[in-house]
Amino acid sequence: MCGISGYVSERIFDDTLILESQHHRGPDSSGTYHELLEGTNINVVLNHNRLSIIDLSEAGSQPMFTEDKNYAIIYNGEVYNFEQLRDKYLKNIPLKSKTDTEVILYLYRLLGINFVKELNGDFAISIFDRIKKKIILLRDRFGVKPLYYYFRNKTLVFASEIKAILATGIDFRLNDENLEKYFVFKYVPEEGTLYKDIYRLSPAHALEYDIINDELNIERYWTLNKNSEYKKLSYDDAKKKLFELLGDSVKIRLMSDVPVGTFLSGGIDSSIIAWYLRNNDKIIHYTARKSEADLKKEGTSSDFYYAELFAKQFNLKMIPVDISSQEANFDLIRKTIFYSDDLIADGSQIPSYLITKEATKISKVMLSGMGADELFFGYKNHLQIMLSQYLDKFPRFISRGIAGYLKNIKQGKGFMKSYRRHLHILGKYYGYSNLKYGFFGLVGDYKNSMSVIKSPNDICLPIFAKYFNDSEDTFDSTTRFELNNFLVKNLHYVDRMCMANSVEGRVPFLDYRLAEFAFSIPREYKLSGTGVTKRIIKDTYKEYLPQGIINRKKAGFGMPLRSIFSSKDKVYELLERDFFGSFDIFSVDNIDSLISKHISGHEDNSAIIYSLICFQEWYKMAKLVK
């Protein structure tokens, strides 16, 4: 895991500032390569901040070159099958290191850009091809590793984080057009950001920049598709295949020359990963611990209780990390926003930061259970979709009547608050077209999120319309939608909060082989007709894990936002009303209304309130031209 950055331009930027901006991503060493292309005034610069994980020697330093100096690479991530690829393609090449970096470089020289299809890993790669005079940028299939770029006026700047692009000193402005998307999705989806002219290279995409002709081309190199072999599997055979694929995915992600730990939430996904590692006494497992008062206000179960139960049964080394509402102060919010830099409003950033801050004392690599909910239908919105489809089978006057009742449920008061919120959303949007299936998965209410912005047009609907139509099964559409949007957001905060503390994050459930398997098996294997979420995971591992973990109610991994925002004084302590009043684009009256309805318990607008606070603090820190 590292930080990469570079540029192609007639201008020269301050490489020291660029490297310093990503020092946290690679504090072990740094390197720079600068070339003035012969016969031109065009500079090609590659920078690298190194976090040493594999081959800790100097031989692993970057930028790295082929022996003929015609190809150079800077790279962030891990390719878990690099040894097999080395043996298959590079037996006759005398490599100087034991790194995957060098293997990737020579694979490009041998196979061209299509080599990326051979990789099983998490990566952001930049290759300078001196023969073709091209810069190549590549991002892994699911976007585990970040990569951003700026392209304008014959200048291409790219980096692992936006702050490195900002370090060039180029003037940037707020992208007002993406504000509405931010408040609806709690981050800017697809390739956009809140900075004008700065873009996110999408997962599974390759960017080629022809330096001489000033031509930039971006293409997708991989798409998640169904494998007919998996579609024919019986349920018992599918369980065996899941066990095999996930076991191998965890195994290969232990590849490291530094200590490895895990995020242990006490949920089934992280517990499965920990179970595979139960006989490895070098692994440390880290668990978030909320206070009893916060759990009561949240209406959720205790991760720590179940994680401790699991750790005791298998004699695991576990370290608890407190994440009570007391930790949600301005200092910590600002810190996580600073490291996030491509703004997202996700309460899970803070516990992730606190856990990796503790973990970095021992562990330099952390395994996460992220991705399982998207692939195997583990979220409550998946149940909402099923309930909505069941309602469709009733006579229209009955289904509409039930939806009307659900719409009027008070979300912040009463028994089973976590379910009441989802039932309210189901009732509120039941009468909409297929787009409602996307609304169900949003963090926060769709219309309420839109209301904070004064906008005559709904620019978010086309995003939902790309996925939810009559041409594909609704659950297949949901998987594509979540993998291309919310998973990207979740992977974003895991990467940023890990790297804020110089720790590498890995995600075994997002091995592309496992993802193809999950997408191919029948929906009822994943979400049963009776509403059992992640059915095949639970049935496969029920004989290995405590029943309490298999059967527990899902609890989101995040700060107790509902507890934090349970009083008006606390909300306005963090949110500055006058700040939003200084923008023409914000509706302060609607913001006040959302807060009042939240405090009264009629609505749950905690995610929207948090997104406003995050934007407020991000804008103050952002390097924008006013």
Q: What is the mean pLDDT of residues 505-518?
A: 98
Q: Which residues, including other chains, have CB under 8 Å from residue 452's CB and lie 6 or more apart?
A: 183, 586, 587, 590, 591, 594, 608, 612
User: Do the first three CATH levels of 2-220 and 228-376+483-521+532-551 match, i.e. the same topology?
Assistant: no
pTM: 0.94
Does position 325 have pLDDT exceeding 90, yes or no?
no
* 247 vs 302, higher pLDDT: 247
Quickly state the pLDDT bin for 469 (edges 50, 70, 90): confident
- For the domain made up of 2-220, the CATH class stated in words is alpha beta
Quickly state the pLDDT bin for 602 (edges 50, 70, 90): confident
- What is the per-residue pLDDT for 126? 98
Does position 6 have pLDDT exceeding 60, yes or no?
yes
* 455 vs 608, higher pLDDT: 608
- What is the per-residue pLDDT for 310? 92
Does position 414 have pLDDT exceeding 80, yes or no?
no
Does position 557 have pLDDT exceeding 60, yes or no?
no
pLDDT digits (tens, 9 = 90+) for 140-171: 999 999 999 999 999 999 999 999 999 999 99
Quickly state the pLDDT bin for 494 (edges 50, 70, 90): very high
Residues labelled as active-site residues: 2
Q: What is the mean pLDDT of residues 13-23?
A: 97
Structure tokens at 8: 């192609």
In the chain, how long is the greatest CA-to-CA distance?
76
Quickly state the pLDDT bin for 626 (edges 50, 70, 90): very low
CATH superfamily assigned to domain 228-376+483-521+532-551: HUPs (3.40.50.620)
| Bond before 462 cis per omega within 30 degrees | no
Does position 556 have pLDDT exceeding 60, yes or no?
no
Lowest mean pLDDT among 473-482, 506-515, 545-554, 585-594: 545-554
Quickly state the pLDDT bin for 420 (edges 50, 70, 90): confident
Q: Which residues, including other chains, have CB under 8 Å from residue 471's CB and lie 6 or more apart?
A: none
- Mean pLDDT across the chain: 92
pLDDT digits (tens, 9 = 90+) for 51-64: 999 888 988 899 99
What is the H or E stretch that residue 129 is in? strand 121-129
| Direct distance between the N- and C-terminal alpha carbons of the chain, in angstroms, rounded to an integer | 35
pLDDT digits (tens, 9 = 90+) for 495-510: 999 999 999 999 999 9
- What is the per-residue pLDDT for 302? 67
Q: How far apart are CA 606 and CA 619, in angstroms?
A: 20
- 515, 233 Cβ separation under 8 angstroms: no
pLDDT digits (tens, 9 = 90+) for 115-126: 999 999 999 999
- What is the per-residue pLDDT for 527? 97
260-298 core/surface letters (b: 16 or more CB in 10 A; e: else) = bbbbbbbbbbbbbbbbbbeeeeebbbbbbbbbeebbebb
Q: What is the mean pLDDT of residues 459-475?
A: 92
Does position 289 have pLDDT exceeding 70, yes or no?
yes
Does position 178 have pLDDT exceeding 60, yes or no?
yes
Quickly state the pLDDT bin for 14 (edges 50, 70, 90): very high
- 43, 34 Cβ separation under 8 angstroms: yes
Q: What is the mean pLDDT of residues 554-583?
A: 80
Lowest mean pLDDT among 272-276, 375-379, 545-549: 545-549
The percent of residues above 70 in pLDDT, for the chain, comes to: 94
pLDDT digits (tens, 9 = 90+) for 359-399: 999 999 999 999 999 999 999 999 999 999 999 999 999 99
Report H helices in 445-587: 446-451, 461-465, 474-484, 486-500, 512-520, 523-526, 535-541, 547-551, 561-564, 568-574, 577-581
* 567 vs 509, higher pLDDT: 509
Delimit the domains of the chain by residue range: 2-220, 228-376+483-521+532-551
- What is the per-residue pLDDT for 304? 83
